[in-house]
């Protein structure tokens, strides 16, 4: 059975309007936030319940048809890129907050719930959902789980993995499993830890139990302008080195500031080569003490202007430029690649200098905006796809930045995931044995390799093959589809 025949089988069960095969409508789902990669799916299913998801996955498993889950489509690594011969299961209709348990500081939500929607719903109770990706106004919690998303405040509060205690999971065979619960730590193997950040390769979450964080007594935000990124980086090291852990420390360089000003008129200090946004929260007395320290470290490291948010409106304006940075570069460049590498924060000055050198050598502009507190870089590689050769040079610069992160003891991704975009870079960071071990776990969940195939790993493992060398050539290996390890 092919995907079209499967669609005909699903329509009487799910309803005509939930199963899409019209080519023009299918093109709506051809990519996620990384438009560099595009694939039109064979079928799209708009799931409304966990039972819908289980029905579709079970039918796919019975017929060997690949499937991919998609939330809001805001991912930046091609993680929700469809399969041309498969089914794309869209979760955006599953937007119910199923339970808010204030006493236990938990909420149970469907995967299509928008990140900021949950915070707005529980804020009157004195709580919020701490993970805050820049796309939190539109990204879904299911997607946050798939990519283990972070955000500006992950420096203090951690990534999505630190705020999920349970999931209802549709396995690649179509069964519904419950992993974890409201309690802090479930007994046994940490299957939840494997699922969060697995990028849809181990199944599809259809309900999520998350931690709610108490709204802090006080929040104070500072904007500091520096002549260059070296000075701003030194201020970051001084703050963290003194034992102060702000809720967030964000940095933008001159080109990122230029883009933000063009897009949202955020009014950052003129002439700044870099700005830091530092936010502290917690008990009022502690925040005040630490805030004075932070201000002192910024001045000592060359801040020529410091602004302190007087109220929530001014705080929002500080953050507006930073949170709009990715989209803002569209004002100064027709095309761009968003990169997502990680380095030790003490390496910030030399790494940023080297990125500047790589940019100049290639003749490709790079705007830097990143989570300075934990060294999660988001270089924006700018180019014009209509100019011959520019896209290729931009790709080379992007790869060189990832190599730079690895050589400085970092990682090829901090929060955007590997997806389709970075799979080819995985062997630069991991050995063959590392990758083989990871794929053994994947095969344990998905022995037929139909759950978001082609993502994360540069070449898929043939599930069921014994690791090691074999005589003869496997038919799939001979066809170039897979590699036997």
CB 20 within 8 A of CB 40: no
The Cα–Cα gap between 95 and 76 comes to: 22
The Cα–Cα gap between 29 and 76 comes to: 14
Neighbours of 443 (CB within 10 A): 17
Provide the 8-state DSSP code for 91: -
Neighbours of 385 (CB within 10 A): 12
Nearest to 190 by CA among 225, 159, 165: 165
Q: Which residue has the tokens 């924060």?
A: 345
Tokens at 269, concatenated: 């200090």
Strands 335-338 and 366-371: unpaired
CB 345 within 8 A of CB 241: no
Nearest to 281 by CA among 345, 222, 211, 346: 222
Alpha helices in 66-114 (DSSP H): none
The model's pTM is 0.91
Quick check: 469 pLDDT over 60?
Answer: no
420-454 per-position pLDDT tens digit: 999 999 999 999 999 999 999 999 999 999 999 99
Tokens at 296, concatenated: 């002192």
The Cα-based distances of 47 to 50, 88, 162, 198, 349 in angstroms read 8, 10, 27, 21, 47
Residue 485 has a pLDDT of 47
CA 31 from centroid of its chain's CA atoms: 15
The Cα–Cα gap between 232 and 219 comes to: 22
The Cα–Cα gap between 166 and 149 comes to: 16
Q: Which residues of 187-224 are buried (b: 16+ CB within 10 A; e: fewer)?
A: eeeebbeebbbbbbbbbbbbbbbbbbbeeeeebbbbbb
203-248 per-position pLDDT tens digit: 999 999 999 999 999 999 999 999 999 999 999 999 999 999 999 9
181-210 per-position pLDDT tens digit: 999 887 889 999 999 999 999 999 999 999
CB 201 within 8 A of CB 446: yes
Residue 231 has a pLDDT of 94
Strands 87-90 and 67-70: parallel
Quick check: 285 pLDDT over 70?
Answer: yes
Nearest to 415 by CA among 31, 81, 79, 39: 79
Percentage of the chain lying above the pLDDT 70 cut = 95
């Amino acid at each position: 059975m092919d995907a079209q025949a499967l669609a005909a089988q699903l329509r009487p069960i799910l309803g005509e309007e939930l199963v899409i095969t019209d080519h023009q409508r299918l093109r709506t789902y051809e990519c996620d936030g990384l438009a560099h990669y595009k694939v039109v799916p064979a079928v799209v299913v708009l799931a409304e319940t966990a039972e819908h998801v289980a029905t579709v996955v079970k039918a796919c498993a019975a017929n060997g048809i690949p499937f991919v889950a998609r939330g809001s489509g805001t991912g930046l690594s091609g993680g929700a890129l469809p399969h041309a011969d498969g089914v794309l299961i869209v979760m955006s209709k599953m937007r119910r907050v199923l339970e808010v348990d204030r006493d236990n500081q938990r909420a149970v939500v469907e995967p299509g719930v928008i990140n900021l929607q949950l915070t707005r719903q529980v804020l009157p109770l004195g709580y919020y959902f701490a993970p805050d990706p820049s796309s939190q106004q539109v990204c879904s919690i299911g997607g946050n789980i798939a990519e283990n998303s972070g955000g500006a405040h992950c420096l203090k509060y951690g990534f999505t993995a630190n705020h999920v205690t349970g999931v209802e999971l549709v396995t690649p065979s179509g069964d519904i499993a419950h992993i974890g619960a409201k309690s802090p730590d479930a007994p046994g193997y940490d299957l939840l830890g494997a699922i969060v950040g697995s990028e849809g390769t181990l199944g599809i979450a259809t309900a999520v139990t998350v931690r709610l964080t108490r709204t802090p007594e006080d929040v104070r935000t500072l904007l500091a302008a520096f002549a260059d990124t070296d000075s701003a980086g030194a201020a970051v090291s001084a703050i963290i080195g003194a034992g102060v852990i702000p809720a967030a420390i964000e940095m933008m360089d001159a080109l990122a500031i230029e883009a933000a000003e063009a897009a949202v008129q955020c009014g950052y200090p003129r002439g700044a080569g870099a700005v830091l946004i530092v936010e502290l929260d917690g008990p009022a007395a502690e925040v005040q003490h630490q805030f004075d320290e932070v201000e002192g470290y910024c001045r000592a490291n060359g801040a020529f202007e410091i602004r302190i948010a007087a109220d929530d409106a001014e705080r929002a304006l500080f953050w507006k430029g930073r949170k709009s940075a990715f989209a803002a570069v569209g004002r100064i460049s027709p095309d761009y690649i968003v990169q997502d590498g990680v380095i030790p924060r003490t390496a910030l000055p030399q790494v940023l200098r080297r990125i500047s050198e790589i940019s100049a050598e290639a003749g490709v502009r790079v705007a830097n905006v990143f989570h300075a507190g934990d060294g999660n870089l988001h270089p924006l590689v700018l180019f014009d796809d209509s100019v011959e050769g520019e896209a290729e040079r931009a790709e080379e610069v992007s790869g060189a930045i990832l190599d730079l992160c690895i050589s400085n003891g970092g990682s090829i991704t901090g929060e955007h995931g590997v997806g389709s975009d970075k799979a080819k870079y995985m062997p630069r960071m991991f050995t063959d044995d590392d990758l083989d071990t990871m794929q053994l776990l994947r095969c344990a969940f998905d022995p037929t390799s139909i759950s978001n195939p082609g993502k994360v790993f540069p070449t898929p493992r043939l599930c069921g093959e014994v690791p090691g060398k074999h005589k003869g050539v496997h038919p799939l290996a001979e066809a170039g589809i897979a590699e036997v390890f």
